[in-house]
Structure 1
Amino acid sequence: MRSRPSPKPLSFLFFFFFFIYASLNLLSSSSSSFPAAAAAAAVAVGVVGGGDGDGGAAVMRASFAVEGDVAWAVQISDLHVSAHHPARARDLVRLLAPALRLLRPSLLLITGDLTDAKNKKRTSTRQDEYEWILYRNSMDEVVKQSGLDKHRIFDIRGNHDKYGVPFVGHKMDFFSTHSINSQLNRLSTIYSISLLGNDRRYLFIGIDDTMSIGIRGPSNLFGHPTDKRIDVVESELQYWDNSTALITKVVFGHFPMSFTASSKTGTRYENVFSRQQVSAYICGHLHAKLSKKLWRLHKVETASNSRDRKRVHNFWEWELGDWKESKLIRILALDGEAVSFLDLELEQEFPTTILITYPTNSRSMNTITTDRHSIRNDISALVFSHHIILNVTAKVFDSSRNFKIVEEIPLQLVTSSSSTVYKPLFHAKWNAESYKSTSPTRYWVQVFALDSQGKQILSEPRPFSVDGKLVTPSRSWLNYLVFEIRWEILYSVLLRSNLGFLILMLLSKFLNHFWERNMSYGKWAMSVFSSPIHKRKLSFWVLWFLIEGSRNRIFWLSIAVYLLWLIKMPWFWGYATSEEGEIGVMYLSGWKLKAPNNPVVVDKLASPDIMVIALPVMYLVVTPVIVITYALFAERSAFHFSGSRKSKCLRSPVNLNTESKQHSAKIESFVFTCGGGARKILLFLCMIITLVHFKICTALMWAYGAAPVALSPALCWVPPLLLVAAVYSTATTAE
């Protein structure tokens, strides 16, 4: 019988000792102000409602007056002010201050990730007070140079601003001392801001949905609304419906809906925003490297009770790219029911910019309340320029006639009742009935402006629909995956699929037990191996892989216990918030930490925040380890079966013709050559898996502490031990 060479334990244990050595090394390391600002000062500021530990149920209200019924706000997001990249803070003063001085918005909304909270190598996350001081000083200089009233600036937390913050008010909670909201004593998780026009109120609701306990990265990735906060947000949106003025509602936050988890009862914001006729939700978080145009139209069916007919309500979600590297700024305009925006990338001086406020873009920002839509016989545009604008003209094109100009409409500057009020609004009347069409993209509008320097500026041409029709937005697969799929659900599907696959592999043990009990497995296997290789079907190899991989009871039981441990028991321990804080425990279901206000109570911060840990470990380490372990035992058994068959053939008295002998010799040569090659491939894969596992463990040690993570056996030691034991066991000599 052909036998495998005797094992060389040192060569097989190389990867294991390499992992131990690397882990031990890690253990040993570790201007002038606006004249209009006074006239449009805050009408009211106050806090209503109670708190739930971190202010989750308190609402901060503020009101500001605006002239007329057209208002605009500026949004920036993901500043990531960093001690290691001081240019980001300087750019706020260099680029944002002049832009705000020109734009003079009613509000400046900063939607999270104010500071970077990462070390120089970006291997760990922690709050750095120097970064917060840098942010505070930069924003103070922006206020000084732009002249923007500080009360009109609202900044909210992002996930980076909560990294390593055990609770609100902790010494590491620098947002509560250095943010603009904290300076103005506006600490809450819900902000209700009203812009009061002549006949309309524009309501902005800001939401801070960061984790109640700020887990360090990479876990802290999702927004976590509470049931109480969702109820308060809905109540606040509904509260203003009782006012006599018409109202347009906009909500802003840091996390997109796809990166916002459901509450404990499964409630989500989408239903609330739809029921309360929110026009748009604006956010950040995903950065422009992913995409600069992450827009989504939510269509939600709602009904007040089971007897009512379901109605479809819509609201837009518009994600803004980052200031960090892209220097993106958004101008959000509100003109009656119409909400429109323009995203600009600031590089040098703010360019002359035209934003058409009505009619809106039928592709991405049209009026969505079509059930009560009325045709407006006017056209309006905001023109922001350092120079005097001499002439503004709107041109309407017909795409069905090769974009022929069908009308030119001169726009006039809207005069203000006060000479101190800045209002770069141009307006004209037109006959909107002339542009009714079944197609939302037939008519296009473009605005041309001529400044005092003789330079003509053009707005981006956009399709419009006076009937309020919308173009079904087309999305790339990346946009759909990241922005339109709820990662909370996708994580559950991916995790359950992986666990189901592994459990099915383990259940093959029962098939093995049944065949061996009936003494039929050996005969079946020998009969199949006696046939030529090209006649062996794929189903045979699958069964062979599952049965032979599970025949070793010790290994099968070890894998079963390990998988059960991963499902129910802790994966590892670590400094979840800071190295001075309590040790947290990570389970597959999330982190478990002591509640800050009651050490007896254990807070469970559920998934999907741990998906960036759990999925790589399960898909790149645990599953490959189990599959390779099965493959090693199957390969050894195939090697021995083939050797046994060859010995029997050599002892067989049956006379074979020359062609049969040649065919048999080719088969045997193929079997033994592939057998050795297959094992080399499996050993190479063992090395790759070990290196991937080492990299994941190293990253987690940097993030949550070397010693606690390294001393967690389920994560650090079991996978390499299984591989080493499997390699060693399958290298033994066959009898």
Structure 2
Amino acid sequence: MAATWVLLPLILFFCREIGSSNGEDSGRILEEDGSISREIFSLDSDVTWVVQISDLHISSYHPQRSEDLKRLLVPALRIIRPSLFLITGDITDAKNKERTTTRQDELEWIQYKKTMDVVIRESGMDKKAFFDIRGNHDKYGVPHVGHKLDFFSNYSISSQLNRLSTIHSISLVGKEWKYVFLGIDDSLNIGLRGPTNLFGHPSDKRIESVESELEYWDSHPHALVTKVAFGHFPMSFIASSEKGRRYESAFARYSVSTYLCGHLHAKFSKHLWRLHSVDLASHSKQPKKTGQFWEWELGDWKDSKVIRILAIDRGHVSFLDVELFTKHGPKEEFQTTILITHPIDSRSMSIMNSEKHISRNDISALVFSARPVLNVTAEVLDSLRSFELVEELTLHTASSSSHGPLFCTKWNASNYMDASATRFWMQVRVVDIYGKVTASSPRPFSVQGKRASLRKTWLEHLIFHIRWETLYSVLLWSSISFLIIFLCLPKLLNHFMERNALYQKWAMSVSISLPIGQKRNFFWPLWFLIEGSRDTKLWCCMVFYLLYLLRFPWFWGHATSEDGTVARMYLRGWTVEFPDSKIQKDGLGEPDIIAITLPFMYFIVSPLFLMVYCLHVERSAFYFHSSRKKCCQEPTSSKMDSAQRLQAVDVDPSKPIVGVKRSPCKICNGWVRTALLLVCLLIVYLHFRQCSYVMAAYGAGPVALSPALSWAPPLLLAAAVYSTQTPAQGHHANA
């Protein structure tokens, strides 16, 4: 017990140390970039539209992805003619053919550059209208910006136009309105290799620069401005800055309309939308204020071939996601596409306060068609009357071209004022010169600016509405707290319950005097914990192993490039050293290491500790059962009570009982132990699966030589199995 009281303070000390670690740098490989590049484009009207694509994943092993860009994007851009074209990260795949490791491939970047040169040239668009930013795949294994592996700085469109700042401010200036697009690159400053490169990592300096740029447009009270931000990472996958600051408060405070992102691909959901409501700080005498902005995640181009058309019509933001690829293959030509810009969809695009909402007596729609448009009509449907047609209006072109793309008409919006935001729906039908009819999807609207509730699936809520940085911390420390209690509580119970050897007699008394069905339920957990922790040597090994995981490196590996310096991964993140500059960077990739730490803690370490206890409990159960049989077979009086029987047979479950034959129970027949050994084999299998996964990612040699990750779990299990063998089990094993 003396060892217990020495180790308990050590556990608490190490927990405090790891919890207080803030990942501050002992040096910096380069300063965080908060610079802003600014560009201004003029508009002919106050209606504009842009195109967004995300997650291209150009790969040397899948050349069809770049071919699809040329085949599908060129005809689409010729017809849509957007003011801006946004590429929101993950430009290249940066993985080997087996997708087991990450590394930058210059051929993929050359392929991307050649492909986009063709797209720009054949679409007829100005190259300055194209903006691309980094994703986590574009930073895999890049030690720092400017390194020889930083191919984004050589082959991206932004680099060709000298836009290497982490923040792009793009202003579209119309007749009365100004539309500001703010692009933010939140990829890791030092690009770790996957899978510990999953989150966006803004710095305090970058957030301050974003706030400064947004505040600049608020300083002009007479300017009509709509702000849109775009980046690669969703808010749920962006870590907090060094001081715990986040973008949500800045976007809400400075009235950002929406934030566009990618990263999650369409495999999770095709409608990952979220309305953020943020409480803004105010004086105690002033009423509480709440700021809002939308977040719209776009599916990937890699598999879904989806693009987003986002339109702003005098401050009203709407969008439409268009798939250029069907189940039967790519579409022969760009299909007629209709985007209603006003009235906007009340489910996902109306964030206006009804008290300040100014009703507009017009209907506007963008029609993108490869063929001249003959007729455009808007239909108003009433959902309370089985979507019966209420009114039909003809829309007329508002541009110099005879076939659009902007069509509008006047109407009496006051006729459709209703308390419900989903009663009235609108659908636009288009007839081209060949007589082909195309109809938009019906969408609800509210002329009063009311917002309809948006249904969320459990998967959407889990992926998009939970901050994974916080969830990781909760899950990690829940696991660690459980293991600490699991180790410490039994020793405390031993200390208070085993004085004067009363515990064995009490346990045997319960096991002998009461039938199994009548034994008290609370006895079994106590008995499990006490008997499982009897082996002091193994218990100390588990304590030291947990302390090691809390404070010391889990493994070593190539954290940046395949031939880079070997770095160390701790529970608090990576520590990367740069010998040339004698600089060390600590706490990198937190919470990105979630992909390694949580599976290891929940599927390896916790089951490992549990099985060590189970093996010892199985041995104690065997000895108790054998002792009970011996007690029952003693030639004593039938009137002898259980206490007298226990005095007649003094049992120590930690020592073998010579001459006791196995009874026909499950424990003595070995079925329980066989099941436990099978579970141990499963843990070993999962352990080596994860080790091989980590070895493929960061190098087989360094990881294999890392004791905490590679050696300790199977050694602890082997020691537990060996030390809990009963005489009969040892005899069978030798045979």
Do both proteins adopt the same fold according to a TM-score greater than 0.5, normalized to the shorter chain? yes
What's 1:463 paired with? 444
Shift of 1:673: 4.9
| 2:96 alignment partner, one of 119, 123, 137 | 119
2:206 aligned residue (229, 239, 258): 229
Query: Does the 8 Å CA contact 2:237/2:467 hold for their aligned counterparts?
Result: yes
The answer for the alignment partner of 2:649 in structure 1 is: none
* CA distance in 2: counterparts of 1:698 and 1:641, whole angstroms: 42
In structure 1, which of residues 322, 325, 338 is the aligned counterpart of residue 316 of structure 2?
Answer: 338
TM superposition shift of 1:604: 2.2
Within the alignment, does 1:613 sit opposite 2:591 as a pair? no
1:592 maps to 575
1:520 aligns with 2:505: no
Contact 1:359 1:380 in 2 (8 A): yes
TM normalised by structure 1 equals 0.89
TM-superposed deviation, 1:401: 2.1
Aligned partners of 2:83, 2:353: CA distance in 1, in Å? 24
Alpha carbons 1:381, 1:427 under 8 Å: kept: yes
**Separation (CA, whole Å) in 2 of partners of 1:732 and 1:526:** 19
State whether residues 339 and 367 of structure 1, in contact with CA within 8 Å, keep that contact through their aligned partners in structure 2.
no
1:698 aligns with 2:681: no
- 2-structure distance, mates of 1:323, 1:435: 39
Q: Is 1:541 aligned to 2:533, yes or no? A: no
Q: Which residue of 2 aligns with 1:684?
A: 678
Q: Say yes or no: does 1:649 pair with 2:632.
A: yes
Match of 1:720 in 2: 714
1:340-366 deviation digits (Å, cap 9, x = unpaired): 110011021211000000111111111
Deviates more, 1:322-331 or 1:361-370: 361-370
Q: What amino acid is the match of 2:343?
A: P
SS at match of 2:501: coil
Counterpart residue identity of residue 725, structure 1: A
Separation in 2, partners of 1:673, 1:509: 25
Does the 8 Å CA contact 2:197/2:589 hold for their aligned counterparts? no
Q: Is 2:312 the partner of 1:312?
A: no
Q: 1:262 aligns with which of 197, 221, 240?
A: 240
- Partner letter of residue 442 of structure 1? R
Does the aligned pair in 2 maintain the 1:54–1:168 contact within 8 Å?
A: no
Following superposition, the deviation at residue 733 of structure 1 comes to 2.3
**Structure 1: how far apart are the matches of 2:433 and 2:83?**
26
Could you tell me which residue of structure 1 aligns to residue 305 of structure 2?
327
Aligned to 1:381: 365
Kindly report which structure 2 residues correspond to 1:173-252, keeping only aligned pairs within 5 A, or say none: 173-243=150-220, 244-252=222-230
Structure 2: segments with no counterpart, 5+ residues: 1-27, 326-330, 640-661, 731-735
The one-letter code of the counterpart of 1:512 is N
Shift in Å at residue 654 of structure 1?
A: 3.7
Deviation at 1:310, TM superposition (A): 2.1
Question: Which deviates more, 255-264 or 397-406?
Answer: 397-406
Deviation of 1:52 (Å): 10
Residue from 687, 703, 715 that aligns with 1:709: 703
In structure 2, what is the equivalent of residue 279 of structure 1? 257
What SS class does the counterpart of residue 334 from structure 2 fall into? coil
Following the alignment from structure 1 to structure 2, what is the Cα–Cα distance between the partners of residues 249 and 222?
24
- What value does the CA root-mean-square deviation take over the aligned residues? 1.9
| Distance across 2 between alignment mates of 1:177 and 1:55 | 20
User: Deviations for 1:152-183, whole angstroms, at most 9, x for unmatched residues?
Assistant: 00000000000000000000000000000001
- Measure, in 2, the Cα distance between the counterparts of 1:205 and 1:518: 73
Q: Which residue of 2 aligns with 1:477?
A: 458
Distance 1:721 1:479, change over 3 A: same
List per-residue Cα deviations over 1:95-120 (Å, max 9, x = no partner). 01111111000000000000000000
Describe the superposition over 1:506-540 as per-residue Cα deviations: whole angstroms up to 9, x where unpaired: 11211112222242211111012112222224322
Match of 2:374 among 369, 390, 397: 390
Distance 1:726 1:497, change over 3 A: same
Alpha carbons 1:191, 1:205 under 8 Å: kept: yes
TM-superposed CA distance for 1:433, in Å, is: 1.2
Measured in 2, the distance between the counterparts of 1:452 and 1:649 equals 99
TM-score, L = length of structure 2: 0.89
The residue type equivalent to 2:699 in the other structure is: G
Instruction: Give the whole-Å Cα distance in 2 for the aligned partners of 1:654 and 1:351.
Output: 96
Report if the CA contact (8 A) 1:363-1:470 is conserved: yes
Quote the offset at 1:337 in angstroms: 2.0
In the alignment, what sits opposite 1:426? 407
Aligned-partner Cα distance in 2 for 1:597–1:107: 42
**CA deviation after TM superposition for structure 1 residue 547, in Å:** 0.6
Residues 136 and 566 of structure 1: is their aligned pair in 2 closer, same or farther, counting only changes over 3 Å?
A: same
C-alpha contact (below 8 Å) 1:254/1:285 kept by paired residues: yes
Structure 1 counterpart of 2:336, one-letter code: T
Q: How far off its partner does 1:305 sit?
A: 4.5
Q: Quick check: 394-403 or 54-63, which moved more?
A: 54-63
How far did 1:708 drift?
0.8
Contact 1:337–1:367 under 8 Å retained in 2 = no
Q: Per the alignment, in what secondary structure is the counterpart of residue 339 of structure 1?
A: strand
Q: What displacement does 1:259 show?
A: 0.4
Q: How far apart in 2 are the matches of 1:564 and 1:371?
A: 58
CA deviation map 1:603-633 (0-9, x unaligned): 3215210001000000010000000000000
Counterpart code for 1:565:
Y
Residues 353 and 450, structure 2, Cα contact 8 Å, conserved in 1: no
Contact 2:367–2:404 (CA under 8 A) maintained in structure 1: no
Say if 1:595 and 1:603, in contact at 8 Å, map to a contact too: no
Note the C-alpha offset of 1:600: 3.3
SS of residue paired to 2:396: strand
1:376 Cα deviation from its structure 2 partner? 1.0
Pick one of 490, 511, 522 that aligns with 2:493. Answer: 511
Q: 1:409 deviation in Å?
A: 1.3
Give yes or no for contact 1:635–1:675 (8 Å, CA) kept in 2.
no
CA distance in 1, matches of 2:523, 2:417: 67
Aligned-residue offset at 1:312: 1.2
User: How many residues are treated as equivalent by the alignment?
Assistant: 671
Q: Is the 8 A contact 1:303 1:309 kept in 2?
A: no
Aligned partner of residue 453 in structure 1, secondary structure: coil
Contact 1:314–1:368 (CA under 8 A) maintained in structure 2 = no
> How far 1:674 sits from its partner (Å)?
7.0
Shifted more, 60-69 versus 510-519: the winner is 510-519
2-structure distance, mates of 1:732, 1:671 = 15
Residue in structure 2 matched with residue 9 of structure 1 by the alignment: none
Tell me, yes or no, if the aligned pair for 1:218 and 1:612 is still in contact at 8 Å: yes
Give me the whole-angstrom Cα distance separating, in 2, the residues matched to 1:162 and 1:387. 42
* Distance in 2 separating the partners of 1:674 and 1:140: 75
Cα 1:509–1:122 shift into 2, 3 Å: same
Change over 3 Å in CA distance of 1:145–1:374 after alignment to 2: same
132 and 68 in structure 1: CA distance in 2 versus 1, 3 angstrom threshold: same
Deviation at 1:732, TM superposition (A): 3.8
Q: What secondary structure sits across from 2:125 in the alignment?
A: coil
Identity %: 58
Contact kept in structure 2, 1:621 and 1:692, CA below 8 Å = yes
Secondary structure of residue in 1 paired with 2:154 = helix
Distance 1:699 1:209 in 2: 27
| Greater Cα offset, 139-148 or 367-376 | 367-376
DSSP-derived class of the 2:216 partner:
helix
Cα distance in 2 between the residues matched to 1:152 and 1:537: 75
For residue 338 of structure 2, what is the aligned residue in structure 1? 354
2:511 alignment partner, one of 529, 550, 554: 529
- Is the contact made by 1:166 and 1:596 (CA closer than 8 Å) also made in structure 2? no
Amino acid at match of 1:568: R
In the aligned structure 2, how far is the partner of 1:595 from the partner of 1:305? 48
Q: In the alignment, does 2:616 pair up with 1:622?
A: no
Partner of 2:25: none
SS across alignment from 1:523: helix
Does the aligned pair in 2 maintain the 1:218–1:703 contact within 8 Å? yes
Which residue of 1 is the match for residue 270 of structure 2? Answer: 292
Q: Secondary structure at the match of 2:727?
A: coil
- Counterpart position of 1:96: 73
Structure 1 position 154 matched with structure 2 position 131? yes
